[in-house]
Structure formats: structure tokens, C-alpha cells
């Protein structure tokens, strides 16, 4: 394996500015087709699931752990970057500066990457216009934990590759296929492909309102191929997505509750847990 080049950054030059915009600027991330990754678990999972590393970043003059040395020795990169500790601290999102960060290549938005594991019926999430980075990251982590097949993002929302989103997943970002499908025609084609292969498809939306609701979540047959539609935190599902739903359901709350709805990440956890529960009972 060819050794990477080593770049020594000593001041806020053009090379530093690229790292800074990968952290803060959505448009620049997509211009470079790269994003910034921090955290031992995230870096380990990116390596384990075969993501492409462009660079590893570490502080100059600081002793590195055996783990960091192994990453620098074993992970294939084009260029590694050495930063002054002060700049490393500025780039880091953590209270205690990371000893190693990475620039990683994005993956193409390919819905074909969202596929069932084994012979199980598909179980997919669609998140419409997410507005909170933590919620998006938490939902990705939930999907990974409960064995879902992947996540589709629609509409304009927070950036999938924002460092805060990646950090909130605690490594699940690199295990869980997530693709952006901006056009409804492409979404319809993806759904039609699932129906053609599996014979049927539940497309289930949730609402806190009573109109057009089939009933509580647990009355739906979630052992069938299922896509859960998760609406924007503030506005719910967009009008353009509601026609895709084959049914709308509720997650009932206690009669004594003063809450009007669940947090969107909590609701997603309930939905997917119920699907997994039903599937385990029938197997």
C-alpha cells in the first residue's frame, strides 16, 4: 500500500479553511464530496464498514495512543494532516479534544443500497424534512439498533453529513444505509419496485389527529413489507407525501397525559420496536 503524503498545517491557510468548511458549511461539503468525522466509535465503524478515508488528522507534538497509531498505519488515505494542538481543539466538537479525526468520502444516493437482510420483509424509514440534527442522528441509531434496512430522506432539512448528525449516531451512521430522494417520482418508483418484488407494501404515516386514522399502531400488520413515514418535527408529513401512505395510525398516549405528541425520535423508536416485536412473534 502506497504511503500517504503528510501535510503540516501551521496556520489558518487554505488547507485549514477546507477542514473548517467541512465542519460548518453544507454546500462546501457537497462540493468536495467529503465530510468530517470525529470520535473513536465513529472512526472504527467507518473503517469496519469500508468507507473511503481521504485523510486522518492528528495534533503535532502529542503522543498518540496505540489505537490512533494503528489507524494511521492501517487505514488507507491519500493524505494525512498534522495540526497544531490549538487548531485541532478548534476543529474538534468535543470538550476534550480528540486525538484523531478524519475526512471521509460521501457515498452516492442509491436507493438500491436499502435492501432487506436475508429473507425478512423490508422495514424502511422515511424522514421528511428533518429540522433537528440530534433527532436525525438518534433515528439512524434506532434503525441500526432495531435491525431496520435503511433511511430515506426527503425535502429540505438538516444535512445528513453534518458532524453533529454523524456524532449523534454513535457509529450507526456508517452501518445504516441512508439516501436522499428529493423527487417524488423517484420515490414512487422505489415503492413500485418494492411492490413488484414483494407483492405488497405498507406505507404508514403517523398523526396525532383523528382524521383518516386506521387506528393505533399495533393494529397494523407490520410483518408485511413496511415503510414508516416520519414527518417533520414541526409540521408533520408534507401534503405531497400523504398520498403515498396506505394508512395513517396513531401512537396512543395515556388518558392523563398533558403531552400532545411524542418527540419524533421517540415516536420512531416506538414504531420500529412494534414492527420488530410483531415479526419476532410470528417467526
CATH code of 55's domain: 3.30.1330.30
pLDDT digits (tens, 9 = 90+) for 198-243: 999 999 998 765 556 678 899 999 999 999 999 887 888 888 999 9
CATH code at position 171: 3.40.1280.10
User: Which positions ≥6 away from 207 have C-beta within 8 Å?
Assistant: 213, 231, 236, 237, 248, 249, 250
For residues 135 and 12, membership in a common domain is answered with no
Judge if 173 and 241 occupy the same domain.
yes
Please check whether residues 158 and 277 belong to one and the same domain. Answer: yes
Counting every residue written for the chain, the total comes to 283
Q: Is 80's pLDDT higher than 80? A: yes
Q: How far apart are CA 202 and CA 246, in angstroms?
A: 6
Report how far residue 247's alpha carbon sits from residue 131's, in angstroms, rounded to the nearest whole number. Answer: 24
Q: How many CB atoms lie within 10 A of CB 150?
A: 21
Q: Which of 203, 192, 210 is nearest to 225 (CA)?
A: 203
CB-neighbour burial class of residue 83 (10 A; exposed 0-12, middle 13-18, buried 19+): buried
Given its phi and psi angles, is residue 57 left (phi above 0), alpha (psi -120 to 50 degrees) or beta? beta
Count structural domains, the chain. 2
78 and 218 both lie in a single domain: no
How many angstroms separate the Cα of 123 from the Cα of each of 102, 105, 111, 186?
31, 27, 13, 19
Q: Which of 115-119, 147-151, 270-274 has the lowest mean pLDDT?
A: 115-119
Q: What is residue 1's predicted lDDT score, i.e. its pLDDT?
A: 58
Q: Return the pLDDT at 93.
A: 84
Residues 46 and 69 in one domain: yes
Q: Which residues are 65's β-sheet partners?
A: none
Q: Are residues 164 and 32 in the same domain?
A: no
29 closest CA partner among 159, 192, 201: 159
Residue 78 structural domain: 5-105
Amino acid at each position: 500500500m502506497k504511503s500517504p503524503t503528510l501535510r503540516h498545517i501551521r496556520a489558518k491557510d487554505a488547507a485549514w479553511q477546507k477542514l473548517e468548511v467541512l465542519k460548518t458549511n453544507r454546500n462546501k461539503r457537497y462540493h468536495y464530496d467529503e465530510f468530517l468525522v470525529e470520535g473513536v466509535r465513529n472512526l472504527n465503524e467507518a473503517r469496519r464498514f469500508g468507507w473511503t478515508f481521504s485523510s486522518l488528522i492528528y495534533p503535532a507534538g502529542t503522543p498518540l495512543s496505540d489505537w490512533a497509531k494503528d489507524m494511521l498505519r492501517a487505514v488507507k488515505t491519500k493524505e494525512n494532516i498534522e495540526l497544531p494542538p490549538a487548531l485541532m481543539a478548534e476543529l474538534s466538537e468535543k470538550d476534550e479534544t480528540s486525538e484523531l479525526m478524519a475526512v471521509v468520502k460521501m457515498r452516492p444516493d442509491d436507493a438500491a443500497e436499502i435492501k432487506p437482510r436475508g429473507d425478512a420483509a423490508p422495514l424502511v424509514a422515511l424522514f421528511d424534512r428533518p429540522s433537528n440534527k440530534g433527532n436525525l442522528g438518534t433515528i439512524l441509531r434506532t434503525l441500526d439498533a432495531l435491525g431496520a434496512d435503511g433511511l430515506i430522506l426527503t425535502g429540505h432539512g438538516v444535512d445528513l453529513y453534518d458532524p453533529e448528525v454523524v456524532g449523534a449516531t454513535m457509529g450507526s451512521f456508517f452501518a445504516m444505509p441512508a439516501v436522499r430522494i428529493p423527487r417524488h417520482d423517484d420515490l414512487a418508483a422505489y415503492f413500485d419496485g418494492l411492490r413488484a418484488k414483494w407483492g405488497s407494501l405498507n406505507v404508514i404515516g403517523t398523526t396525532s389527529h383523528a382524521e383518516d386514522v386506521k387506528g393505533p399502531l399495533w393494529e397494523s400488520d407490520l410483518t408485511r413489507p413496511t415503510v414508516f413515514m416520519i414527518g417533520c418535527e414541526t409540521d408533520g408529513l408534507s401534503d405531497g407525501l400523504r398520498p403515498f401512505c396506505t394508512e395513517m395510525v396513531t401512537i396512543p398516549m395515556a388518558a392523563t397525559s398533558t403531552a400532545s405528541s411524542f418527540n419524533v425520535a421517540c415516536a420512531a423508536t416506538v414504531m420500529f420496536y412494534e414492527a420488530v416485536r410483531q415479526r419476532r412473534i410470528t417467526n
